[in-house]
Amino acid sequence: MPPFEHAPETALEWHAAGTGAALATVVQTWGSAPRRTGAQLVVSGEGQIEGSVSGGCVEGAVVVEALEALQDGRHRLLEFGVSDEDAFAVGLACGGTIKVLVEPVGSALPAELLEELVAARTSRTPAAYEVNLATGARRLARAEYPDRMRMDRSGLEDDGETFVAVHNPPLRLVCVGAVHITQALVPMARIAGYDPVIIDPRAAFAAPERFPGETLMDDWPDEAVEKLGLDTRTALVLLTHDPKLDDPALQAALAAEVFYIGALGSKKTHAARIARMQEAGFTTEQINRIHGPVGLDIGAASPAEIAVSILAEMTAVLRGKQP
């Protein structure tokens, strides 16, 4: 989940309810600041809070400023550093400094713009909220800032005035095949921030006791991925060794914009897979998106080691590195 979690949705809800809401966002950090750039805190007109910008006493000062911002309708840029008692109390004494932008909803931050942002987040559409700290000009960017979007990196542009908050959908891992490697990969991926989904129409494999607490789908893979939807924040990993199960999902992924496609199997198996995709009419460019054999070549042998290699390769591709 992004560092701001559900703050935009909460802010919109509180504003619509008439209690008022102000969004506080970390726009810059130095040193030992405890929360990353983009972290958010939302404050209601009644003093209720959700989220965090520092994890400690700085929140108290931010809440006071947020309540004042709701009164005068103006945004403000706050800075906390080594000389501030509040900053010292939350561990900024080792050279840490944070800047926090406070925006009252409905005045400085138009409710219509916040609604647009929340709609994008709900529909899993990547978006970047852009605000000029000097002029207060705000907009929602869609196609701009590809590097920031890929790296999930909010921050100030080189002009020192334009702050860009990245709002990416949560990462999602779709595993076709409820096999031993999946049992190792799913908990690792969850730790890394992915929301896993396991697809396998074979009841003996996709048994809840083998994957406690995880989302299991017993649909045929092409039907399952159609229900889920495949987007730029989705990784698809094919682990069944069975073309009847893998290929329908693979073809759906090749026609979509998933950021990663990995397929288990030997080089011989992958060569046969490529031939089938060529026969199905996919281009060389599309087929080259398939990482097969799946995972980085780290000499992995056990299911857990193979899972490590897969997750490492997924991360490299997500962050724009050549595996």
Residues 226, 217 contacting (CB under 8 angstroms): no
Largest interatomic CA distance in the chain: 68
pLDDT confidence of 214, banded at 50, 70, 90? Answer: very high
Tell me the pLDDT tens digit for each residue of 231-245: 999 999 999 989 999
Interval 186-196: pLDDT, tens: 999 999 999 99
Pick 22 or 92 by higher pLDDT.
Answer: 22
β-sheet bridge partners, residue 26:
100
Q: What is the pLDDT of residues 8-60, one digit of tens each?
A: 999 999 999 999 999 999 999 876 556 789 999 999 999 999 998 876 658 88
Question: Per DSSP, which regions of the chain are E strands?
Answer: 21-30, 40-44, 49-51, 76-80, 97-104, 127-132, 138-141, 155-156, 162-167, 171-176, 194-199, 215-217, 234-238, 260-263, 290-291
Looking at the chain, how many residues does it have? 323
Average model confidence (pLDDT) for the chain? 91
For residue 94, is pLDDT > 80?
A: no
Residue 3 pLDDT: 43
Residue 303 has pLDDT above 90, yes or no: yes
Render pLDDT for 248-280 as a digit per residue (tens, 0 to 9).
999 999 999 999 999 999 999 999 999 999 999
Reported as a single tens digit per residue, the pLDDT across 312-323 is: 999 999 999 887
**Where do the domains of the chain lie, and which CATH numbers do they carry?**
7-126 (no CATH), 171-318 (3.40.50.720)
The CA distance from 227 to 219, in Å, is 10
pTM of the predicted structure, to 2 decimals: 0.80
